[in-house]
Amino acid sequence: MKQRLKKGDIDNILVMGKSGAGKQPRIDVLIAEFGLEQLSTGDIFRSYLKAFDEIGFDGNILDFFNTETDDFISSEIIEQQLKTYLSGRKFKDVLLGLKAKYYVSNGLFVPDSVTNDLFLSSFKKSDYRGIVLDGYPRTIDQAKFLVTVAEKKNRKIDAIIHVVNDDETILNRVTGRRVCPNCHKVFHMKYKPLKDGKYCTNCGTEAITRIDDTQEKVLSRLKEYREKTQSAIQYLISCDIQYIPVPGNLPELTDEAVKNSVFAAIENPEESIFSVEPF
C-alpha cells in the first residue's frame, strides 16, 4: 500500500511526460494544493546563462574547452582568466553558466554531467525540498543522479506524476498552436481560433508559430522521449517511487476538470482512468 500524498509531508514531486503532453496545468494544480515551488530545467538553464552573460566576458568561450580531452580546461585556470570580470559574482554560478553556454550556443547536446551540475546547484538553493520538478530528470543517468542526491540529503521523492498523452494528440495540439508576438496570448487553429484565421483576438496583431512548434521539432522531441525519458521513468518506478499516471487529454479542459483528474489519480493511482497506454 502506497503512502497517500499529504499536504505538509511532501518533499518533492516529479512531473514527467512528453513535451506538449500538458504538464503545466497539472504542475499549477500541485503548486496550489501542496504549496510547492516549480523547478524547471528551462528556467535553470536561463538563470545560469544569465549569470554568465552578466559578467560581460568579451573573449572566446571556445578557449575554455579542450577538444582533445573533450572537456573543459581546469576550473582554476578559467577562474584566473575570468577574475577581472567577476566583480563580486560567485565564480561557481558563472562557471556553470559558461558550461551551459558552450553547449547551448554551439547547438550541441548538453551532457548529463553538466545538466546534473546545474540542477544540483538549483536544488541545493531550495534545501532539496518543496519542489515540483519539471523537465528533470530526462535521462536514466539524470534519474540515477537525482535518486542518489535525494538519498544523500535524506529527502523523499514522493511521487512521479506522469502526464500521459498520445503522440497524435500532441502533434495536433502543438503544430496547431499560434502565439501573439505582442501580448503572448496562445491560440489554436482548431480549438481556439484566431480572428479571420490570422489575428490575435485580444490586440489584433498577426499571430505566429513558435520556432519549436513545427512538426519536425515535435517528432524529434517525441523520439528523444521514447529513447531516453521512458527508461528514466521506468528506473524511478524500480526505485519504488510512487507512480501516478494522469490523463493529459480531457474531454473538457477547464481548471476544475484538470484539478479533479489529478486528484482522482492521486487518490487512486492503481485505477487507470484513461485508455491511453502510459508508455
Q: Return residues touching Zn ion (CB under 5 A).
A: 180, 182-183, 185, 200, 202-203, 205
Q: Are strands 71-72 and 65-66 parallel, antiparallel or unpaired?
A: antiparallel
Distance CA 199, CA 137 (A): 38
Of residues 72 and 199, the one with the C-beta less far from Zn ion: 199
Cβ-in-10-Å burial (0-12, 13-18, 19+) of 131 comes to: buried
Distance CA 205, CA 198 (A): 9
Contact present, 160 and 236 (Cβ < 8 Å): yes
Shortest approach of Zn ion to residue 177 CB, angstroms? 14
Shortest approach of Zn ion to residue 173 CB, angstroms? 20
Of residues 204 and 278, the one with the C-beta less far from Zn ion: 204
Of residues 86 and 183, the one with the C-beta less far from Zn ion: 183
Of residues 106 and 202, the one with the C-beta less far from Zn ion: 202
Shortest approach of Zn ion to residue 201 CB, angstroms? 8
Shortest approach of Zn ion to residue 128 CB, angstroms? 40
Shortest approach of Zn ion to residue 210 CB, angstroms? 14
Of residues 155 and 177, the one with the C-beta less far from Zn ion: 177
| Number of other residues whose CB lies within 10 A of the CB of residue 214 | 13
Each as own residue / partner, the long-range contacts of residues 222-231 (CB below 8 Å, 24 or more positions apart, any chain) are: 222/18, 222/19, 222/167, 222/170, 222/171, 225/18, 225/19, 228/138, 228/139, 228/140, 229/16, 229/18, 229/138, 229/139, 230/279, 231/139, 231/140
Give the dihedral of Cα atoms 141, 145, 151, 155; nearest 10 deg: -110
Of residues 8 and 197, the one with the C-beta less far from Zn ion: 197
Shortest approach of Zn ion to residue 182 CB, angstroms? 5
| Number of other residues whose CB lies within 10 A of the CB of residue 222 | 18
How many angstroms from the chain centroid is the CA of residue 109? 16
Of residues 185 and 217, the one with the C-beta less far from Zn ion: 185
Shortest approach of Zn ion to residue 181 CB, angstroms? 8
Q: Identify any residues that bridge with 177 across adjacent strands, giving them in sequence order.
A: 188
Shortest approach of Zn ion to residue 204 CB, angstroms? 7
Of residues 170 and 180, the one with the C-beta less far from Zn ion: 180
Place of cell 501573439: 180
Contact present, 161 and 247 (Cβ < 8 Å): no
